[in-house]
Amino acid sequence: MKENIRKVALLSLLVLWAQLSLVPWFGIKGIAPDFIFLLFSFFVFFLNRRKVIWWAFGVGLMKDALSNAFFGLETIALVAGVLILNQMVMHFDREDVWVQLWATFISTFSSLLIFLLVFSLVQDEILIGSWHVMKSLMIAGYTALLTPLLFPAFKKYFHLKLRASQYELF
């Protein structure tokens, strides 16, 4: 158990470093993947999904400290996105790649939209335009497309084995 906590902490620091330093290299005209949300998607799908909410709260506070937005906006958006993802994972097969893709896309897009909406409420004279929504869609799509590439690497890092699916025939 302690080894898993160490692995989670080390991988979280690595992903935070990648988000802060490597994103400009992966970015295309300001559109870059959200590695931090991708890591939380993996945690929700394959590790303890109840503890991820508290982990997202802590990382959201760190993102708030590093960003220039109002304090608390990153935390609200990240925790809301993880809660949405948590609800989707409860109802669908978490080992299906398509479910992982769409759930990551929808929850990332929802998180970005929540950030935009709350930001527009606290900031004066900010209008959410079609470019903001399109940029959020493209970031969510870019993040979701990395799911089939990074989830197997994360599984290998945590030494997770796929369990056999059991289907009942009536």
126: CATH: 1.10.1760
C-alpha 64/C-alpha 13 separation (Å) is: 16
Per-residue pLDDT averaged across 77-81, rounded?
89
Indicate the pLDDT class of residue 169, thresholds 50, 70 and 90: low
Tens digits of per-residue pLDDT, 83-141? 999 888 888 877 788 888 899 999 999 998 998 888 888 877 667 778 888 888 888 98
Residues 149, 155, 159, CA angle at the centre, nearest 5°?
A: 150
C-alpha 25/C-alpha 85 separation (Å) is: 27
Which pLDDT belongs to residue 162? 53
Q: CB of 53 within 8 A of CB of 82?
A: yes
- The count of domains in the chain is 1
Domain membership flag for residue 166: no
Which pLDDT belongs to residue 161? 60
Domain membership flag for residue 146: yes
pTM: 0.81
Token pair 């993996």 in the structure block, residue: 42
Report whether pLDDT(168) > 60: no
Domain membership flag for residue 163: no
C-alpha 108/C-alpha 40 separation (Å) is: 10
Report whether pLDDT(33) > 70: yes
Domain membership flag for residue 167: no
Domain membership flag for residue 169: no
Per-residue pLDDT averaged across 135-150, rounded?
88
C-alpha 55/C-alpha 105 separation (Å) is: 20
Q: What is the mean pLDDT of the chain?
A: 81
Which pLDDT belongs to residue 88? 85
Which pLDDT belongs to residue 105? 93
Give me the percent of the chain exceeding a pLDDT of 90: 5
Q: Which domain holds residue 133?
A: 2-22+30-158
Domain membership flag for residue 168: no
